Structure 1
């Protein structure tokens, strides 16, 4: 890779892109402290209120691969700027919402902004010198976890001490600042593929297939796993994704090049991404519940939402600190070794939870150990992907890998939800997850982390890369 021009400032690029990734990820947890109050605030039902989270998940899953392909075709800086527009509009719409429908639409727009993370990672490959690339990609890739870790206590503090609308107005202003910083400090990247015809049918087919799949996964517990709606959505997802795959293999400029995706290094890295995403999200669902359940249960810790968020906040700092250390390990031993090590550290965090779940400090330590592993693992996934794909498909391949992580997190939510609902106890008129249910959920998370390590062992890593043609133009 050629060294970037001297006018490019690596420190400024890294700071702006990392901040943009953290802000985009923060939107994912922004509404969590409000979920319990949304039915009252927006005059709706509790079931309808959960769509404020589901809408973000679905829109992000659809937008990320599409934005990645457009970034390869028309320039990553351009698509980074475009991705900030729905973040701004969605945050403002949520701030002004007086009913559940505008809130859901606004949250859906916020989800579209998640494309910033894979686009930023891909832009780094074009803009940063080789010696800075590993640590920078690791930090940017970890921004999804960092933003989520910091977003929960921040959102809880604002929601508890001010109007909930302030939370979204602050998000609007922050997103505007991010857009200005990208416009001012991120240079145009060099185009590595011709801006040909966009695969609209592929985008439509993938979008429909993903919505059917993730909707069935995220709502199956509510609708019933054997209900006609859930089974119908799963069936529609299988059919639509099969047709989409046939179409992508048939055309010359597909949305996702499945032949490249089928390469062993890319295929197994994406498989590892699904399981790492599962392992990352499972503890994010279990630990907050354990901290907030009343002490009368005998295992709950009786923490408030704000206190719980503050206990979990150090995990974001740990992830930030560990990401560059993981990059150094990758430089010395290769990203495959780092991904194996990160997966094993995540498994260690889950294993330690079985003896540390009796105190808030113990659970905080558990999240810090797990976050250290997540920081290592998330930072290596883009490196493994970019080591196996041509520069012309960097953004699309990274976006597809991000999508795989999202599928893992969605599956974790469904599996953990089923375990906790099936293994429950009754306290008065309330049904609560049992202590054994939490332990089983933690063991499943540990098993997922070990599975990620096992999959990674099988990844064949190329030692050398073929020279790539020089870029065509800058956009």
Structure 2
């Protein structure tokens, strides 16, 4: 069993001569992977007709991507530690491209679900890219690079909606998926050409297949019960049964991980206070981020006759939300500098505080598109700060041999947060409704309560971040992230 004190330092880091190209490639890969999550959102009203299926069945096109991504993230992270991060990154571009082609050629539900599931595998690129930075980026550029690549999850979600809406409105929906295939091939070429082939951090280890199966079963059942609970009924046999299976599977998985010599996720490392509190904060930040992403598009598009809807088209809504996505990209470098100066804990606290302030502003600005755009820009600025700080906290606290796996687990916590957020906000909006033109739709009070929940979750994330302990030897003005990340390199250079 690895531990930070006894784990081997892993291979020496190999600084690349083109760090800017490496960071840009990994950020691009993460952004494209995240875009896959929102790619079909503009198509949702048309999917039943496109695929000749029911409205309920068509939602599996989104659910499939969510499920596969949740399972793939921790597994691909561990594989990256064992067989090489670059190799796994290249491998993930294959299902991403193949899934895109399958979706582009689909005219029925089953092949579309298969293709979307394959696209979900691409989310494994995000933690792999973050972990790879620890191996190849110079010390002085590490914090800002981590911040940018980590924020690519939010950036992809923010810019994916307007781009997908524009393509869907002015071209065939199939162009979305053909374009995705081209992007996947482009990523493969860039990774092959620009990313150095670093030796695996934990070579020769045995892959924990039983642990992977157990985690997959638990996550699939948990995510299904959370994402489909509103459709099936929260007290239905299917929802409760899946929830029960998830609990049993995850408990059994945890017991196995604590017994096996080479676990998929080292739970003893994960249970260390600094790692544990960071992962808990990640869940609440995920909930806080998704609340705005679920509420603002609906307010934008509801008819003005409701008295609070803004009557925007899907394309206009995406364009109003685009600056929010771009803010994550703009803020990330500043977050890196803040981490270098004060440490990632301080950056995470600042991010959570900014998100809270953004939601406070939103309650005063719900009545206009400009107000919602400004609120989202503030919220996403905080998300950019927080998302950049989390992997820096994780990597300063785990052995080199577990970098990708630990980042994968942290990314999973963020994803679970967004799933729980979607379920909670969806339940609130489903209960607080009005009847308009013969149909039930969320009320203005429902939207206000949803935004309050988002702000409350950000405030909880702030309080959890305050509890994150310092590492041994860390001073009051900085963090040991960079020093820990480059210990192996310094030994070689010495």
TM-score of the superposed pair, with normalisation by structure 2:
0.93
Structure 1 counterpart of 2:105: 96
1:383 aligns with 2:392: yes
1:8 CA displacement: 3.0
1:33 aligns with 2:47: no
Q: Is the 8 A contact 1:291 1:308 kept in 2?
A: yes
Structure 1 counterpart of 2:175: 166
1:208-219 superposed matches below 5 A: 208-219=217-228
1:191 CA displacement: 2.2
Query: Partner of 2:375: helix, strand, or coil?
Result: helix
Structure 1 counterpart of 2:254: 245
1:356 aligns with 2:368: no
Structure 1 counterpart of 2:464: 455
1:190 aligns with 2:182: no
> How has the CA–CA distance of structure 1 residues 297 and 264 changed in structure 2, closer, same or farther, with 3 Å as cutoff?
same
Structure 2 counterpart of 1:318: 327
Q: Residues of 2 paired with 1:170 and 1:330: CA distance?
A: 36
Q: Is the 8 A contact 2:16 2:136 kept in 1?
A: no
TM-superposition CA deviations, 1:197-240 (whole Å, max 9, x none): 11000000000000000100000011000011100011100000
- Structure 1: tracts of 5 or more residues without a match: none
Structure 2 counterpart of 1:204: 213
Query: Partner of 1:126: helix, strand, or coil?
Result: helix
Q: Is the 8 A contact 1:419 1:437 kept in 2?
A: yes
Structure 2 counterpart of 1:231: 240
Q: Is the 8 A contact 1:3 1:129 kept in 2?
A: no
Out of 21, 26, 30, the residue aligned to residue 21 of structure 1 is 30
1:63 aligns with 2:63: no
Q: Residues of 1 paired with 2:336 and 2:270: CA distance?
A: 24
1:396 CA displacement: 0.1
Structure 1 counterpart of 2:185: 176
Out of 122, 125, 133, the residue aligned to residue 131 of structure 2 is 122
Q: Is the 8 A contact 2:287 2:457 kept in 1?
A: yes
Q: Residues of 1 paired with 2:104 and 2:150: CA distance?
A: 29
Query: Partner of 1:191: helix, strand, or coil?
Result: coil
Q: Residues of 2 paired with 1:193 and 1:451: CA distance?
A: 36
Q: Residues of 1 paired with 2:271 and 2:14: CA distance?
A: 35
Superposition misfits of 4+ residues, deviation over 2 angstroms = 1-8, 464-471
Structure 2 counterpart of 1:330: 339
Q: Is the 8 A contact 1:8 1:187 kept in 2?
A: no
Query: Partner of 1:190: helix, strand, or coil?
Result: coil
Structure 1 counterpart of 2:287: 278
1:170 CA displacement: 0.9
Structure 2 counterpart of 1:408: 417
Structure 2 counterpart of 1:305: 314
Q: Is the 8 A contact 1:59 1:111 kept in 2?
A: yes
Q: Residues of 2 paired with 1:228 and 1:147: CA distance?
A: 36
Q: Is the 8 A contact 1:88 1:175 kept in 2?
A: yes
Deviates more, 1:1-10 or 1:25-34: 1-10
1:195 CA displacement: 2.2
Q: Is the 8 A contact 2:214 2:250 kept in 1?
A: yes
Query: Partner of 2:35: helix, strand, or coil?
Result: helix
1:269 aligns with 2:281: no
1:5 CA displacement: 5.1
1:429 CA displacement: 1.6
Structure 2 counterpart of 1:47: 56
Query: Partner of 1:426: helix, strand, or coil?
Result: strand
Structure 1 counterpart of 2:83: 74
Q: Is the 8 A contact 1:276 1:405 kept in 2?
A: yes
1:194 CA displacement: 2.6
TM-score of the superposed pair, with normalisation by structure 1:
0.97
Q: Residues of 2 paired with 1:302 and 1:255: CA distance?
A: 48
1:154 aligns with 2:163: yes
Structure 2 counterpart of 1:423: 432
Q: How many corresponding residue pairs?
A: 473
Q: Residues of 2 paired with 1:37 and 1:378: CA distance?
A: 33
1:470 CA displacement: 7.6
Q: Residues of 2 paired with 1:315 and 1:418: CA distance?
A: 25
Structure 2 counterpart of 1:445: 454
1:15 CA displacement: 1.1
Query: Partner of 2:435: helix, strand, or coil?
Result: strand
Query: Partner of 2:309: helix, strand, or coil?
Result: coil
Q: Is the 8 A contact 1:3 1:130 kept in 2?
A: no
1:368 CA displacement: 0.3
Structure 1 counterpart of 2:6: none
Q: Residues of 1 paired with 2:201 and 2:31: CA distance?
A: 27
Query: Partner of 2:53: helix, strand, or coil?
Result: coil
C-alpha RMSD of matched pairs (Å): 1.7
1:193 CA displacement: 1.4
